[in-house]
Amino acid sequence: MITPGHGGRPAEMHNIAINVQNRVLSVVRSVLQQNAITADVHPESRLVDIGLSSMGMVELMLKVEAEFDLILPQFEITPENFRSVKAMERMILNQLGSGSG
Protein backbone atom coordinates (compact mmCIF):
# COMPACT_ATOMS: atom_id res chain seq x y z
CA MET A 1 0.00 0.00 0.00
CA ILE A 2 1.35 3.41 -0.97
CA THR A 3 0.65 6.15 1.53
CA PRO A 4 0.97 9.85 0.77
CA GLY A 5 3.66 11.84 2.48
CA HIS A 6 6.27 9.10 2.29
CA GLY A 7 8.22 10.43 -0.68
CA GLY A 8 11.52 8.91 -1.52
CA ARG A 9 10.30 5.61 -2.84
CA PRO A 10 11.79 5.22 -6.31
CA ALA A 11 8.47 4.42 -8.00
CA GLU A 12 6.72 7.40 -6.41
CA MET A 13 9.59 9.75 -7.28
CA HIS A 14 9.57 8.46 -10.86
CA ASN A 15 5.81 9.06 -11.17
CA ILE A 16 6.16 12.58 -9.79
CA ALA A 17 9.01 13.30 -12.23
CA ILE A 18 6.97 11.97 -15.17
CA ASN A 19 3.99 14.10 -14.11
CA VAL A 20 6.19 17.21 -13.85
CA GLN A 21 7.82 16.46 -17.21
CA ASN A 22 4.44 16.03 -18.93
CA ARG A 23 3.15 19.29 -17.46
CA VAL A 24 6.31 21.15 -18.49
CA LEU A 25 6.07 19.72 -22.02
CA SER A 26 2.47 20.89 -22.19
CA VAL A 27 3.40 24.42 -21.07
CA VAL A 28 6.32 24.57 -23.53
CA ARG A 29 4.10 23.40 -26.41
CA SER A 30 1.49 26.02 -25.50
CA VAL A 31 4.09 28.83 -25.48
CA LEU A 32 5.51 27.62 -28.81
CA GLN A 33 2.03 27.55 -30.30
CA GLN A 34 1.30 31.09 -29.06
CA ASN A 35 4.55 32.22 -30.69
CA ALA A 36 3.65 30.46 -33.98
CA ILE A 37 6.60 28.07 -33.63
CA THR A 38 6.05 24.59 -35.00
CA ALA A 39 8.52 22.15 -33.51
CA ASP A 40 8.66 18.64 -32.14
CA VAL A 41 9.62 19.10 -28.49
CA HIS A 42 11.35 16.40 -26.44
CA PRO A 43 12.69 16.54 -22.87
CA GLU A 44 16.24 17.11 -24.16
CA SER A 45 15.31 19.67 -26.83
CA ARG A 46 17.21 22.96 -26.49
CA LEU A 47 14.52 25.62 -26.44
CA VAL A 48 16.66 28.34 -28.04
CA ASP A 49 17.45 25.95 -30.90
CA ILE A 50 13.72 25.43 -31.41
CA GLY A 51 13.37 29.18 -31.85
CA LEU A 52 12.04 30.44 -28.52
CA SER A 53 13.03 34.11 -28.11
CA SER A 54 13.98 35.79 -24.84
CA MET A 55 10.43 37.16 -24.59
CA GLY A 56 9.13 33.65 -25.19
CA MET A 57 11.39 32.45 -22.36
CA VAL A 58 9.91 35.07 -20.01
CA GLU A 59 6.42 33.95 -21.03
CA LEU A 60 7.46 30.35 -20.42
CA MET A 61 8.82 31.18 -16.96
CA LEU A 62 5.56 32.90 -15.98
CA LYS A 63 3.46 30.00 -17.28
CA VAL A 64 5.64 27.46 -15.43
CA GLU A 65 5.15 29.43 -12.20
CA ALA A 66 1.37 29.49 -12.80
CA GLU A 67 1.20 25.79 -13.76
CA PHE A 68 3.02 24.65 -10.62
CA ASP A 69 1.67 27.41 -8.34
CA LEU A 70 5.09 28.58 -7.27
CA ILE A 71 7.27 31.65 -7.42
CA LEU A 72 10.76 30.86 -8.62
CA PRO A 73 13.54 32.45 -6.58
CA GLN A 74 15.61 34.93 -8.60
CA PHE A 75 18.71 32.70 -8.41
CA GLU A 76 16.80 29.89 -10.19
CA ILE A 77 15.88 32.07 -13.17
CA THR A 78 18.92 31.27 -15.28
CA PRO A 79 19.44 30.31 -18.92
CA GLU A 80 20.67 26.90 -17.73
CA ASN A 81 17.42 26.15 -15.87
CA PHE A 82 15.34 27.07 -18.94
CA ARG A 83 17.64 25.41 -21.48
CA SER A 84 15.39 22.36 -21.94
CA VAL A 85 12.31 20.63 -20.61
CA LYS A 86 14.60 18.31 -18.63
CA ALA A 87 16.42 21.25 -17.02
CA MET A 88 13.11 22.89 -16.07
CA GLU A 89 11.85 19.57 -14.69
CA ARG A 90 14.91 19.32 -12.39
CA MET A 91 14.49 22.90 -11.21
CA ILE A 92 10.76 22.41 -10.49
CA LEU A 93 11.31 19.13 -8.66
CA ASN A 94 13.94 20.91 -6.50
CA GLN A 95 11.51 23.75 -5.80
CA LEU A 96 8.64 21.40 -4.97
CA GLY A 97 10.95 19.33 -2.77
CA SER A 98 12.28 22.32 -0.88
CA GLY A 99 8.78 23.67 -0.38
CA SER A 100 7.59 20.59 1.50
CA GLY A 101 8.84 19.43 4.84
The answer as to whether 5 is a domain residue is no
Q: How big, in percent rounded to 5, are the helix, strand and coil portions of the chain?
A: 60, 0, 35
**CATH no. for residue 43?**
1.10.1200.10
What is the reported pLDDT for 100? Answer: 46
DSSP classification of residue 78: S
What is the full per-residue pLDDT of the chain (101 aa) written as tens digits?
444 445 557 788 889 889 999 999 999 999 999 999 999 999 999 998 999 988 999 999 999 999 999 999 999 999 999 999 999 999 999 998 865 44
Provide the residue range defining the domain that includes 48.
Answer: 13-99
Residue 6 forms part of a structural domain = no
Residue 7 lies in a domain: no
The pLDDT, as a whole number, for residue 101 is 40
Residues 89, 97 contacting (CB under 8 angstroms): no
What is the number of structural domains in the chain?
1
Long-range own/partner contacts, residues 5-12 (CB < 8 A, 24 or more apart): 7/97, 7/100
